[in-house]
Amino acid sequence: MNTIESNAKLSIELAVADFQSNDSRRTISAMRNITAGILLLFKLKLLELSPADSNEVLIKSKVEPKLRDGKLVFIGKGKNTVDKQEIFERFQSLGISADWKRLNAIVELRNNIEHYRTDVPLSGIREVFGNAFFVINQFCNEALHRKPYDMFGEAVWDVFLEEESFWRALKASVDEANKDVKWEREEMLEVARCFSCSICGSRLLKVVDHTVIYEDLNYQCVACAHVHQFDELIDPALEEAFGAHNYASFKDCGEMYSEECDDCGRASYIVSKAYCAVCGDSPLLACTQCGQQYHPEHYCERCDYINSQAPGATDFESIDDVLSEAGTGANTVNP
């Protein structure tokens, strides 16, 4: 067994021992050790993929090219190893799958509790171990091709199984409480899944009263019991939920997926659908040829007539072709 593998096992075993301790001072240690153990498992995969005589190139932070027998090779340089972000980037390049969303949730929860709380709620640490189960179980089976039960032993793995069951039950109760919230648009379901406690970082937020309008919604964190108003949660969640969409949309067509809504002022106006995901505002559009307003995905009456006269004309580019023959043009804009 190499050093990285033995250290990964030791970190995870220590995390479980800290977690089972009655000493509240050891809960932060449990969070640190479980995070370190998972990252060491990730490094173990990179180590296994590093070519022989490369000085463990894939786990080294610095890499330098060299010529060996006339062939270009890459060699690890120095003693510093890759951090979480560098591991993520190398996994992407190598096509290695890992549950980064859950790992990031573990790290965020650990950081928030470590920096902003002196007392760690039991439900908070149990949420960490519930998420850790998913990350470790998936990675050991799919990337390392090993059974976690065999790697860590019965005593350690039974603790993870118990906490995973607890986490599932807790998540189910939160989902049940939140299912009756009626959002104006379907995109808010994705946004609401990104709500997180600003105190401890937990994702397990339960709505207090679903009968009120969305601006008056309050959510209570089941980990630390802090109550959040809707306005406290929505902006960070929008950034997380729509960030990747905005990047992909701008990269593909030079247009943002979401913009600031004129009505509620949040970055939740879905450009392609011409409505706000939060407040539901959907301003009328106007035909630049005649100024007549119409709802999204509909032509004004004049352009609809022109379109009907041109067989196969199903978009505004086709209409412009028809109108250009008559010396005019039409398209759509926000008023």
Q: Concatenated DSSP letters for 67-78?
A: EETTEEEEEEEE
pLDDT recorded at residue 171: 86
Residues 6+ apart with CB under 8 A from 64: 74, 75, 77
Domain co-membership, 133 together with 198: no
For residues 49-69, one letter each, b for 16 or more C-beta atoms within 10 angstroms of the residue's C-beta and e for the rest, the string is ebeeebebbbbbeeeeeeeee
Q: Are residues 118 and 12 in the same domain?
A: yes
| pLDDT more than 70, % of the chain | 81
Centre a 10 Å sphere on the Cβ of residue 209 and count the other Cβ atoms it contains.
Answer: 9
Phi-psi label, residue 191: left if phi above 0, alpha if psi -120 to 50, beta otherwise? alpha
Does the structure show a pLDDT above 50 at 115?
yes
Q: Of 112, 138, 171, which marks where a domain is finished?
A: 171
Do residue 136 and residue 63 come from a single domain?
yes
Q: Is 281 helix (H, G, I), strand (E, B) or coil?
A: coil
Query: Per the domain annotation, does 97 fall within a domain?
Result: yes
DSSP state of 205: E
Q: Smallest Cα–Cα separation from 131: which of 152, 110, 155?
A: 110
- Between strands 275-276 and 269-270, the pairing is antiparallel
Count how many Cα atoms sit within 13 Å of the Cα of residue 59 in the half-sphere of its side chain. Answer: 20
Work out the average pLDDT over 219-229.
86
Residue 220 sits in the same domain as residue 134: no
C-alpha span between 166 and 110 (Å, rounded):
19
Which among 43, 81, 42 has a CA at the least distance from the CA of 60?
A: 81
Asked if residue 183 belongs to a domain, the reply is yes
Say whether pLDDT at 295 is over 50.
no
* CA 103/CA 126 separation, integer angstroms: 14
197 and 66 within one domain: no
Report phi then psi at 95, rounded to 5: 70, 30
CA nearest neighbour of 126 among 204, 228, 227: 204
The residue behind tokens 């995390």 is: 15
118 in the same domain as 60? yes
* φ/ψ (deg, to 5) at 224: -120, 0
Residues 190 and 148 in one domain: no
- Mark whether 128 and 227 lie in a shared domain: no
Question: What pLDDT shows up at residue 203?
Answer: 85
Considering the domain architecture, whether residues 29 and 92 belong to the same structural domain is answered as yes
First to last CA, the chain: 68
Say if residue 100 is in the same domain as residue 227.
no
The whole-number average pLDDT for the span 147-175 is: 87
Report the distance separating Cα 325 and Cα 185, nearest Å.
Answer: 41
Burial of 171 (0-12, 13-18, 19+ CB in 10 A): middle
Fill in the DSSP letter of residue 327: T
Domain membership of residue 205 as a residue range: 177-244
Say if 278 falls within a structural domain. Answer: no
Last residue of a domain, one of 134, 150, 171: 171
Indicate the Cα dihedral angle 84, 86, 91, 93, nearest 10°: 160
Between 256 and 137, residue with greater pLDDT:
137
Q: Judge whether 269 lies within some domain.
A: no
Average pLDDT over residues 29-36: 91
- What pLDDT shows up at residue 319? 46
Give the separation between CA 3 and CA 298, rounded to whole angstroms.
65
At 70, list the tokens.
């006339």
- Number of domains, the chain: 3
* Domain contains 136: yes
Instruction: Calculate mean pLDDT across residues 94-99.
Output: 94
Could you say which of 227, 244, 261 is where a domain stops? 244
Q: Is there a domain that residue 274 lies in?
A: no
CA-nearest of 122, 81, 88 to 104 is 88
Using CA atoms, how far apart are residues 95 and 280, in angstroms rounded to an integer? 39
Higher pLDDT, 317 or 1: 1
pLDDT confidence of residue 135: 93
* Same domain, residue pair 149 and 125: yes
Least confident segment among 66-70, 77-81, 221-225, 264-268: 221-225
Please indicate, yes or no, if residue 260 is contained in any of the structural domains: no
Domain membership flag for residue 257: no
For residue 33, the number of C-alpha atoms closer than 13 Å in the C-beta half-sphere is 19
Dihedral sign for Cα atoms in the order 122, 147, 172, 34: positive
> Are residues 52 and 75 part of one domain?
yes
